[in-house]
Structure 1
């Protein structure tokens, strides 16, 4: 019987984790975007709508990432690390959203594209930090 290659196993684990993270991220992004759109329709300014949608999307992401994507137990330390990471990400995505709104041409899709750009940037940063800092075993 052939021995299992540890590097291949680690790579497979990373890919599986990345796929689950992407699924959770996609679902959480839909939640985030729906809340963002609702808040805009209720008359909130873009920064306020983005702030509220981020909190709702982040709460969804934490619960699903911890249990399914990274399959780790909870605890105060992990929750605090997650909260700290997402607090930093919050300000980053607000800045990226504002920058995108400032540089994108005025159009009917500018607000949605700015949201998508800020979401994508925040998601990439979060995966790296969650994998190697917050949810590491």
Structure 2
């Protein structure tokens, strides 16, 4: 078994958080660029494109570095299903908060705050599912 599989909850959570920061920076930058900077997409399409780019980066980093797991079709499928569920929640929360804040705060601050809240909710759900279901150790123990 890979040495990463024996990492503690604290180590995995720390790595998951660092991976999440890298993915979130990519996600936020692309969302802002497409929605505000270039103005080529509305909030749904900009957020979707940013989320997709961040998700691909997060999956690759988490599978290899955070959880030290080998690639498998089952893990990939389960992870993608988890990401789809968190995507729906993330975009729904983002759009609702953005719409509530834009008139009072303007596009940039509304985008940032909506992004942060939506991302926080999705991250907690995502880590729990990945650690407890997708990348669990043999025998169910961590």
Report whether the alignment pairs 1:83 with 2:99.
no
Aligned pair count reads 127
Report whether the alignment pairs 1:47 with 2:44.
yes
Higher relative contact order (CA 8 A, sep 6+): 2
Give the superposed CA RMSD.
Answer: 1.5
Which sections of structure 1, spanning at least 5 residues, go unmatched?
1-9
Normalising to structure 1: TM-score of the pair? 0.87
SS in 2 for 1:73: coil
Report whether the alignment pairs 1:13 with 2:16.
no
Report whether the alignment pairs 1:59 with 2:59.
no
Which has the greater radius of gyration? 1
Distance 2:100 2:45 in 1: 20
Which sections of structure 2, spanning at least 5 residues, go unmatched?
1-5, 138-142
Normalising to structure 2: TM-score of the pair? 0.84
Distance 2:99 2:26 in 1: 25
